Amino acid sequence: MTATGVELRGLTKTFNGPGRPVQAVRGIDVSIAPGETVALLGPNGAGKSTTIDMLLGLLEPDAGTVSLSGLESTSAIAAGKVGAMLQTGSLIPNLSVRELVAMMAALYPSPLDVDETLHLCGIEAFAAQRTQKLSGGQTQRVRFALALVSNPDLLVLDEPTVAMDVEGRRAFWATMREFAGRGKTVVFATHYLEEADDFADRAVLLAHGTVVADGPTTEIKARVGARSIRATLPGVGDDELAALPGVVAVARRGDAVELRCADSDAALRALLTTYAGAHDVEVAGAGLEEAFLELTGDEA
């Protein structure tokens, strides 16, 4: 069994946007060990797809290097070590699902068995259908089968579950878990924190084209799993509130303030003792999406 690691060094990419250039990726360094399952996590526009395109050699970086277990991406791909499911793309028509998967398998040196792949991806039921007759969810599963049948050492998935329904998602991750269990390297982009938490060993958080956090998913979750305190508190400045123990950020909506806290217990004690006028106090676990947006530096 072999697996392929990934080394991204100093990757940058700027696109010519309308009017002014858009810096999609501004210096990304990531190393992924063979056999690791890593989530590239970030909101839309964080640079996930651009990073994946550079990883796969579909896009030339302005600066920096990509190495897949010591090989350039084009060589690793030519050797059939890489399988990928891109974010967008449809299937070519006038072939049955089975014919398409079998054709793809034939391009690779050591593919999975076609029947096994059809089974793993749950697409046996419509294996005889022509590809142009499939529903959106079915198409997505076939695209996954095309990536999987190559039996790659490195499997790269760019937001694979976006077009899937809940049932499809569950089946998809079950298949992925089985595949990663064979010691393969898996890199996937997602903007669902839960997917990263459930499935990856490690998450790399991207925002505005840079890595803002990189660590085990439990660690990431602890960081974004902070609580927030909401209270109505007229006449107190943001700076004073931010100075309270345990508070990391302050947001204001009219007379209501929201304190995002690393230690909500300490912050609440200090808030109530310092400002007797505070009322309508609520403590809540920060919504994952909200917390995540804050951590990645975006204004929700």
Partner 1 sequence: MNLAYTRAELLRTLRNRQAMFFSLGFPLVLYIVIAGPNKGEQDFGGTGVPTALYYMASLASFGTMNAIVASGARIAVEREAGWTRQLRISPLSTTAYFLAKLVTGFALAGSAVALLYLAGTALGVRLSGGRWLEMTGLMVVGLVPFAALGILLGQLIGADAIGPAIGGGIGLLALISGTWFPITSGFIYDVGRLLPSWWLVQAGRAGIGGGAWPLLGWVVVTVWTVALTALAFRAYRRDTAR
CB distance 38 to 201 below 8 Å: yes
Residue 65 binds to partner 1 (criterion: CB under 8 A): no
Contacting residue, 3, 8, 32, 56, with partner 1 by CB under 8 A: 56
**C-alpha R_g of the chain:** 23
**Interaction mask 225-264, partner 1, x per CB under 8 A:** ----------------------------------------
Find the shortest distance in angstroms from Cβ 293 to partner 1: 26
CB distance 151 to 171 below 8 Å: no
Instruction: Tell me the window of 96-104, 115-123, 186-194, 274-282 that interacts with partner 1 (CB under 8 A).
Output: 96-104
SS3 call for 255: coil
Identify residues 141-170 at the interface with partner 1 (CB under 8 A).
146, 150
Instruction: Tell me the window of 25-33, 99-107, 161-169, 259-267 that interacts with partner 1 (CB under 8 A).
Output: 99-107
Burial (CB < 10 A; 0-12, 13-18, 19+), residue 275, is middle
CB distance 300 to 291 below 8 Å: no
Q: At what angle do helices 166-180 and 136-149 cross, to 10 degrees?
A: 10
Identify residues 103-122 at the interface with partner 1 (CB under 8 A).
103-104, 106-109
CB distance 50 to 13 below 8 Å: yes
Contacting residue, 89, 245, 277, 297, with partner 1 by CB under 8 A: 89
Give the type of residue at 240: E
Q: Which residues contact partner 1 by CB under 8 A?
A: 53, 56-60, 77-80, 82-84, 86, 88-95, 99-100, 102-104, 106-109, 146, 150
